[in-house]
Amino acid sequence: MGVEIVADDGADHDNSCFDDEWRPALDNELIDEGRESYEIREEDEDGEEEDSFSADFYRCGTDWSCLLPAHEEGKKKLKQANLLSMWGLKEPKPQVLSPPPPKRLKTLSVINPRESVSPNFGKSKNNSTVTPPSSNRPRICPFYKRIPGTPFAVDAFRYGSIQGCSAYFLTHFHFDHYGGLTKGWSHGLIYCTRLTARLLTLCLSVNSSYVHPLDLNTEYVIGGVSVTLLEALHCPGAALIHFRLPTGLCYLHTGDFRASKCMQSYALLLKQKVNVLYLDTTYCNPKYNFPSKEDVLDYVVRVTKDFLKRQPKTLVVVGAYSIGKECVYLAISKALGVKIYASASRRRVLHSFGWSDFSSSLCTQAKDTLLHVLPISSLRFETLKDYLKNFVNQYAAVLAFRPTGWTYSESVGKQLDQIRPISKGNVTIYGVPYSEHSSFSELKEFVKFLKPDKIIPTVNVGNPATRDKMQSYFQEWLKG
């Protein structure tokens, strides 16, 4: 498979990101992080059941008439009895989504995925023995993780070697997207941003010969398909991926993103029609109408300053994921003129971003600053009380921030001053709606700007009623 632009950062990475100190916190972190993206995704990703989303999407006859241009409405109905025929492809046959076997790079070595065995393998919920599935039967990659007409898959690393797939794209370094990647990965080249590439080798020890970093806003030709990565405004290294096929069809996969007006100035999106949009629908519900990131950051800084006036001996804690939420504690750091303390493992991750102003704000000793970063799962009263005991002669109280869209309340809306913290003794925790996913209104504005022919939701797709509701929103947005 040819790549016309080849780039390598040549960095010498330290493969010690997740050491013994980091792993327990990371495990809890990913559980909490999953609340924002992973656990609410598809209910049956394998696509093996007749009532799975894949089967339903292909066969249920979803009415896509809403996606016709307004002047064509009433002339015909796009009855989606078959998604492939809808896209102008032939009926499914063996490897129908795969072009002729591409020319493999020397570094590509496809092997059968190793099967993992659960401790409860062969047992049902009531401990009775059941017939195990075929040991050679790999998990099936959902259709919406494949890009039709290409040998590409996006965020699909949990399925071993995917038949007909020779290139794997990773939108960003969050577990629900990179899950399945290990140092033993050998199923094909992984394409991602440079920052994400550094994290793959630093934190997961993925063989660098399989990691192919791409620059943002640069067009690459991979296997005859033009591929461009665009800033996703999610977490560091996150990207939207734009695919333009030789046929002229264009697909945009958002991964996880926070839609913004600035995206309406992306030259590629202005000049090229997006035919199919794979959309992050984490918050595709009218009740989620977040304040802007900037407004939340201003609020957090204001609360921190006011709290410190009342109790100068306060330890300020910001909860964060393995990556993400950096802007929250960086805003406090700049406003107060203080350093940021994080564990050695987190510092290695943060230094890998290559942001010089950020790296200079970090310190190695916890007692040297009042601003600490902890796993978001650690923001519990007992945990924070125990943490405060390490600084008994230095601080008398804890002010903590849990920045996530799941703390959003319709009753508060964008009136951030109405947020009421939870206090217990000398520990105060604020839940602030700082989200790195798009709100409902931001999704609407982004879709109305793009005007895609078709929209495929990638989150909250396991429930038929939810899917139908989302399609009704899409229909309304695309009417104009």
Count up the domains in the chain and report the number.
2
Range of the domain at 298: 293-432
Mean pLDDT over each residue of the chain, to the nearest integer: 79
Q: What is the pLDDT of residues 12-53, one digit of tens each?
A: 333 346 543 344 344 334 434 444 433 333 333 333 333 344
Q: Could you tell me if residue 385 is inside a domain?
A: yes
Is 224 part of any domain?
yes
- CA distances (Å), origin 414, targets 124, 260, 377, 439: 48, 17, 25, 12
Helix axes 194-203, 344-352, angle to 10 degrees: 150
pLDDT on residue 412:
74
**pLDDT higher than threshold 50 for residue 79:** no
Same domain, 447 and 366: no
Q: Per-residue confidence at 117, pLDDT binned at 50, 70, 90?
A: very low
Residue range 96-110: average pLDDT?
A: 37
Q: Find the radius of gyration of the CA atoms of the chain.
A: 24
CA distance 405 to 73: 37
Give the tokens for residue 405.
Answer: 């869209």
Nearest to 181 by CA among 198, 164, 205, 162: 205
**pLDDT of the residue at 480:** 65
Contact predicate 86/64, CB 8 Å: yes
Closest CA to 250 of 281, 280, 277, 215: 277
Q: Looking at residue 314, what is its pLDDT?
A: 98
Q: Is the predicted pLDDT of residue 476 greater than 50, yes or no?
A: yes
Same structural domain, 259 and 363: no
The share of the chain scoring above pLDDT 70, in percent, equals: 71
Residue 185 vs residue 122, higher pLDDT: 185
Are 337 and 216 in a shared domain? no
Look at residue 175 and tell me whether its pLDDT is greater than 90: yes
Domain match, 325 and 265 both: no
- Evaluate the CA torsion angle 39, 43, 48, 54 in order and state its sign: negative
Q: What's the CA gap between 5 and 8, in Å, rounded?
A: 10
Please report, for the domain that includes residue 233, its CATH number. Answer: 3.60.15.10
- The verdict on residue 89 lying in a domain is no
Of residues 61, 90, 88, the one with CA closest to residue 77: 61
Q: Is the pLDDT of residue 11 over 90?
A: no
Each residue's pLDDT tens digit, 220-242: 999 999 999 999 999 999 999 99
Closest to 259 in 3D by CA, of 282, 276, 286: 282
- Distance from C-alpha of 237 to C-alpha of 216, rounded to nearest angstrom: 10
Q: Could you tell me if 151 and 281 lie in one domain?
A: yes
- The CATH number covering residue 401 comes to 3.40.50.12650
Residues 387 and 351 in one domain: yes
Residues 261 and 336 in one domain: no
Q: What is the mean pLDDT of residues 46-70?
A: 39
Rounded to whole angstroms, the Cα distance separating 432 from 302 reads: 13
Tens-place pLDDT, residues 350-379: 999 998 888 899 999 999 999 999 999 999
Q: With a cut of 70, say whether residue 124 has pLDDT above it.
A: no
Name the band, by pLDDT with cuts 50, 70 and 90, for residue 137: low
Percent of the chain at pLDDT exceeding 90: 64
Residues 165 and 244 placed together within one structural domain of the fold:
yes
The answer to whether residue 232 is domain-embedded is yes
Task: Looking at the structure, tell me whether residues 454 and 415 fall in a common domain.
Answer: no
pLDDT digits (tens, 9 = 90+) for 392-443: 999 999 999 999 887 777 767 777 888 899 999 999 999 999 999 999 999 9
Is 420 a domain residue? yes
- Residue 169, SS3? strand
Beta bridge partners of 318: 373, 401
Backbone angles phi, psi at 212, to 5 degrees: -115, 100
Residues 347 and 443 in one domain: no
Residue 116 has pLDDT above 90, yes or no: no
CB 229 within 8 A of CB 193: yes
My answer on whether 222 and 171 are in the same domain is: yes
